[in-house]
């Protein structure tokens, strides 16, 4: 979605809230209740139905930018960062959930429909071109015609290709360009009230037992009085520790602080590919996460999104 489309959606939202035209639109919106924000955001009219067109996200510009809103994405996301790494000097926090691909694969193909050997290879060929089927199948062991289902395997492939490995590639480029303030994380925890959080969508049951895309968001934002987010006492402590890191990063560009829980969050290193492993029981480090052979393979094959 380009910036002008996003502005149009946001103007419509402000009109619905009674804040546009106004001398200070932002101040007017800040004075609205949470109930009003949710109510009017659900009434926004949009013309391109996509998964992202949900309340509070329809007005976001999904084109990547560099420093200025007018500097639009000219290449694929990974290529964009790699080409302009020397100009990106701001500190960066980015990370992945352990099972990033699960939600997307299960939303596309219901888990009740088995993805057998030939179907799985067909999907690989469709997404990553026929000439790469054998190499990908060998790497991820899509080699057993008798295996009943390949949902989890395809989810791992998608997670590596679209999330984990691009993050490593971009982190490497930024670090090589001299940016020494790159912080990576791997989130590996399933909230206890997971069924309440995800509801009953056809893909939801698999997220009851996988760390799906966006699993860290309730812990990062820790919103009060949201009926679908209920923390145990231990989870609340976990959320507070995550919030401490993110807040300190927002203030200083460094997530570390004496007031935040240990361990110290080390910056990314090309040699060790170190990420902070965020989980309830033991937050520590994971090195070379999915790096060799998986991310090495995808770096060589290339990214086209």
User: What are the helix (H) ranges across 17-67?
Assistant: 25-30, 34-41
pLDDT tens figures, 2-13: 667 778 888 888
Q: Across residues 272-280, what is the average pLDDT?
A: 91
Regarding the domain with residue range 64-301, which homologous superfamily does it belong to in the CATH classification? Alpha/Beta hydrolase fold, catalytic domain (3.40.50.1820)
Provide the mean pLDDT of the chain.
Answer: 86
Q: What is the pLDDT of residue 70?
A: 44
Residue of 222, 272, 282, 224 lying closest to 246 (CA atoms): 222
161 close to 76: Cβ distance less than 8 angstroms: no
The CA-based diameter of the chain, rounded to the nearest angstrom, is: 67
Q: What is the pLDDT of residue 60?
A: 56
| Confidence band for 303, pLDDT divided at 50, 70 and 90 | confident
pLDDT tens figures, 191-243: 998 888 887 777 678 889 999 999 999 999 988 777 778 899 999 999 999 99
Percent of the chain with pLDDT over 70: 87
Q: What is the pLDDT of residue 281?
A: 80
102 close to 193: Cβ distance less than 8 angstroms: no
pLDDT tens figures, 145-170: 888 799 999 999 999 999 999 999 99
Q: Across residues 81-109, what is the average pLDDT?
A: 91
Q: Where are the domains of the chain?
A: 1-63, 64-301
Percent of the chain with pLDDT over 90: 53
Burial class (CB in 10 A: 0-12, 13-18, 19+), 180: exposed
What whole-number distance in Å separates Cα of residue 241 and Cα of residue 262? 9
More confident residue, 34 or 266: 266
Q: What is the pLDDT of residue 69?
A: 46
Q: What share of the chain is helix, strand, coil (3-state, %, to 5)?
A: 45, 10, 45
């Amino acid at each position: 979605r380009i910036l002008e489309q996003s502005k149009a959606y946001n103007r419509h939202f402000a009109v619905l809230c009674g804040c546009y035209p106004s001398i200070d639109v932002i101040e007017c919106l800040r004075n609205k209740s949470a109930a009003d924000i949710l109510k009017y955001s659900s009434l926004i009219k949009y013309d391109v139905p996509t998964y992202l067109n949900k309340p509070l996200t329809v007005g976001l510009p999904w084109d990547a930018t560099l420093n200025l809103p007018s500097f639009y994405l000219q290449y694929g996301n990974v290529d964009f960062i790699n080409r302009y790494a020397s100009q990106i000097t701001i500190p960066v926090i980015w990370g992945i959930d352990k099972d990033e691909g699960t939600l997307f694969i299960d939303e596309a193909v219901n888990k009740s429909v088995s993805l057998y050997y030939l179907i799985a290879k067909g999907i690989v060929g469709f997404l990553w071109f026929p000439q790469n089927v054998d190499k990908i199948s060998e790497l991820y062991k899509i080699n057993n015609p008798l295996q009943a289902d390949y949902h989890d395997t395809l989810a791992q492939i998608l997670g590596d290709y679209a999330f984990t490995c691009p993050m490593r590639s971009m982190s490497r480029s930024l670090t090589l360009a001299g940016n020494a303030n790159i912080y990576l994380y791997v989130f590996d925890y399933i909230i206890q009230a997971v069924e309440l959080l995800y509801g009953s969508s056809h893909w939801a049951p698999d997220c009851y037992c996988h760390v799906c895309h966006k699993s860290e968001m309730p812990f990062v934002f820790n919103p009060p009085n949201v009926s679908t987010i209920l923390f145990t006492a231990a989870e609340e402590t976990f959320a507070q520790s995550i919030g401490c890191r993110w807040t300190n990063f927002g203030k200083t560009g460094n997530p570390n602080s004496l007031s935040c829980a240990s361990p110290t969050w080390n910056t990314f290193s090309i040699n060790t590919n170190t990420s902070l492993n965020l989980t309830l029981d033991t937050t520590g480090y994971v090195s070379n996460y999915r790096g060799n052979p998986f991310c090495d393979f995808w770096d060589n094959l290339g990214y086209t999104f």
